[in-house]
């Protein structure tokens, strides 16, 4: 190893430590909105991009029965964007957070994994499951932690 290479390998890079992209999963539940608020604070303090992700469920059975599933999930996504924009406007000038809204399709776990991979997330924030059955079969949050691919914060 050359002397010049040794000097560069031990040099601290100012401004490049910490996460660049913090991903938060939202679905409109109270816990997911608390997770979004928490992730927003993290992104602000770290000067990171906040990637807000809604995973639209793919309900083949509902679609087969003629239910307007896509329209309903589109409305949920639009409502979430409106809520997030409203919250961002309330704190404009006090807190500045760079954020983007993304919609992925699929089940929540696989959708968040796909989003984290595609958006190159450094950290993932999700709300704790509010469904009793998840204590038995495992929640999305637990599955994300077990995947061990990113630091995962679960907000109650």
pLDDT of the chain, 156 residues: tens digit per residue: 555 544 445 554 555 577 899 999 988 888 888 999 999 999 999 999 999 998 888 765 545 555 555 566 677 777 777 777 776 676 666 677 888 888 888 889 999 999 999 999 999 999 987 765 445 446 888 899 898 899 999 998
Query: Distance between CA atoms of 102 and 26, rounded to whole angstroms?
Result: 10
């Amino acid at each position: 190893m050359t002397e010049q290479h040794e000097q560069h390998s031990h040099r601290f890079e100012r401004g490049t430590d910490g996460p660049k992209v913090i991903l938060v999963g939202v679905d409109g539940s109270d816990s997911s909105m608390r997770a979004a608020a928490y992730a927003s604070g993290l992104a602000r303090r770290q000067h990171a991009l906040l990637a807000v992700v809604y995973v639209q469920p793919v309900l083949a059975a509902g679609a087969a029965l003629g239910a307007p599933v896509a329209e309903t999930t589109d409305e949920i996504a639009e409502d979430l964007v409106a809520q997030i924009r409203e919250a961002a406007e309330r704190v404009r000038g006090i807190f500045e957070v760079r954020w983007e809204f993304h919609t992925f399709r699929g089940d929540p776990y696989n959708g968040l994994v796909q989003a984290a991979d595609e958006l190159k997330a450094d950290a993932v924030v999700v709300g704790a499951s509010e469904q009793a059955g998840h204590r038995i079969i495992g929640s999305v949050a637990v599955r994300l932690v077990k995947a061990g691919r990113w630091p995962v914060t679960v907000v109650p």
